[in-house]
Chain A
Amino acid sequence: MIGNVFGWLTTAAHWRGGNGMTAIGTQIQAHVTYSFVAVAIALAIALPLGLFMGHTGRLPFLVSAANTLRALPTVGVLILLTVMIAPNFHGRTDFGYLIPTEIVLVLIAIPPILSNTYAGVQNVDGVVRDAASAMGMTGSQVLLQVELPNSLPLIFSGLRSASLQVIATATIASYLPLGGLGRFIYDGLAQQDFPQMIGGGVLVALLALLTDSVLAFIQRHVVSRGVSGRFSKKAMTAGGPAAADIVQAEVAAV
């Protein structure tokens, strides 16, 4: 079976498409697009909100509220929204499925970003905040010049966690007639074409790992060395790719 999967993945025809099957490349593109849009929207909402909440200490209940969203079954909400919204788009065009999907994806991406941003800002050492204020920085200067840079590790944790969950859920969204890498899984299942099904899974896994690596790379270069502790002689602490940090972010948000 593994050989068959490998064969399926490396067949050039599959990458170009045809024979009733959309090209692998197209599906990757679709998947990345759905995910990227959702994460971007979630960032636009949750990041400023989290910064505001962390800086002023107001509205902490929003964090617990966001976290209770996690108890919702994603498939269920996805189907519920689809069933509510899709019929309004006559003939169930792509938009009819895209909108509920994007709504669900955004809802999934917000809690990790919000709670991590909030925690990140709150965890900035009180002494540092005090010193910044005492030196004559205005509130927004303290937030942007001091609190934000020092919260970046946690913010990135949240961003990476959110991205992975969105990629995972976008896969499920292909249960609906939509594009994305999940298409191969569900079509493969329907057609009992197991190399396709498993190949789809492999592609999703690779996309997730690649995305996380890219974000980790960006994180390493954006976060000040003074904060991450990455000095030349110092060994890396929490080992390995900070995919491990995502686990940490998940747990910390509880």
Chain B
Amino acid sequence: MTATSTAGAASSSPWHFWAYFTAHRHQDLSWLWDHVWLSALPVVIGLAIALPLGWLASRYKWIYPPMLSLMGLLYTIPSIALFVIIPPLLGLKALDPIQVPIALTVYSVALLVRVVADGLGSVPEDVLQAATAMGFGRVQRLVKVELPIAVPVIAAGLRVATVSNVSIVAVAGTIGLANLGQLFTTGFQLSTPTAYYPPIVLGIVLCVALALAFDGVIVTANRLLTPWRRAVQGR
């Protein structure tokens, strides 16, 4: 099925995106699936990398400034620039599709290291000392005391990371990568001479839905992991 199979000016109205969706179901769902992976996986890997780095930065005061400078630098670089700069740095082909997940992982790490470091740093000193005095070993204390308390801060960072990733992955569609961004490029190309809305609107709807879904998952996970906060706040 090609993108031009829908006919008639009526179906170019924005409200017909559902019709467009059913017509191109397979393609769209495949792009959606790609998008989910491309958005989520870099964050997960990013968190795995950021946890030890952030812990180092919070534990050893002299590491904090240079680490955060580097991360700040990486985060400042626009993602699309990262997309194209990383392949030559890693010796890949200039247009290797793997560059997007790698760039997004770098981006997520840059964001999350600061979040993890500050989250762990937000644990009150007297809590730490009480834990040590009660006989918690270093690792136990980290896993059972510090991380749980840092969860809300880290969750906030994860929300920012995933939601912005959804948008950035769509940008990768403009340089040819398979994901929901292709809906936008398709719509754009088909919009000569009159606007052809359905794929564009569909793309926006799906992206927003995806972003909200990710956000919801993280918020729920946060709530489940921090039962004590629910008890205190009336949220």
Contacts and interface: CB of A to CB of B under 8 A. Distances in A.
A–B direct touch in complex (beta carbons closer than 8 A): yes
Interface of A: 1-2, 5, 70-77, 79-80, 82-84, 87, 164, 167-168, 171-172, 175, 182, 185-186, 189, 194, 197-198, 200-202, 204-205, 208-209, 212, 236, 238-248, 250-252, 254
A247 B208 contact: no
Nearest to B175: A189
B164 A70 contact: yes
A72 B115 CA distance: 23
Nearest to A236: B65
15 contacts: A2-B89, A5-B88, A71-B166, A73-B170, A73-B207, A75-B174, A80-B204, A87-B195, A201-B82, A204-B78, A238-B68, A241-B69, A243-B75, A244-B72, A250-B164
Contact of B76 (A164, A185, A201, A236): A164
Nearest to A78: B184
| Contact-residue size bin, chain B (C-beta under 8 Å from the other chain) | 35 or more
Nearest to A254: B156
A201 B80 contact: yes
Contacts of B82: 201, 205
Given A75-B174, A76-B200, A185-B175, 6 more contacts: A74-B171, A80-B200, A239-B69, A240-B69, A247-B111, A250-B111
B193 A87 contact: yes
Interface string B149-163: 000010011011001
B46 interface: no
B183 to A, nearest CB: 8
B232 to A, nearest CB: 20
A201 B114 CA distance: 25
Given A80-B197, A171-B80, A212-B76, A205 B85 contact: yes
A72 B72 contact: no
A48 to B, nearest CB: 26
A82 B184 CA distance: 11
B84 A198 contact: yes
Interface string B1-38: 00000000000000000000000000000000000000
A253 to B, nearest CB: 8
A75 to B, nearest CB: 5
Contacts of B47: none
A80 B89 CA distance: 35
B94 to A, nearest CB: 4
Interface of B: 64-73, 75-85, 87-89, 94-95, 110-111, 114-115, 118, 153, 156-157, 159-160, 163-164, 166-167, 170-171, 173-176, 180-181, 183-185, 187-188, 191, 193-197, 200-201, 203-204, 207-208, 211-212, 215
B45 to A, nearest CB: 18
A244 B70 CA distance: 9
Nearest to A168: B78
A242 B78 contact: no
A244 B69 contact: yes
A201 B208 contact: no
A228 B98 CA distance: 42
A38 B54 CA distance: 35
A139 B98 CA distance: 56
A175 B174 contact: yes
B114 to A, nearest CB: 5
Given A246-B75, A251-B160, A1 B88 contact: yes
A242 B194 CA distance: 46
Contacts of B211: 71
Which are the 6 A-B pairs with shortest beta-carbon distances?
A: A240-B69, A239-B65, A243-B72, A168-B78, A201-B84, A244-B72
A240 B76 contact: no
Contacts of A241: 69, 72-73
B30 to A, nearest CB: 18
Point out which of B77, B87, B153, B201 has the most chain A C-beta atoms below 10 A from its C-beta.
B77
Given A239-B67, A241-B72, A208 B187 contact: no
A210 B174 CA distance: 26
Contacts of A242: 72
B154 to A, nearest CB: 10
Given A198-B88, A243-B75, A251-B157, A75 B80 contact: no
Nearest to B78: A168
B187 A79 contact: yes
Contacts of A246: 72, 75-76
B160 A250 contact: yes
Given A79-B188, A240-B69, A251-B156, A168 B163 contact: no
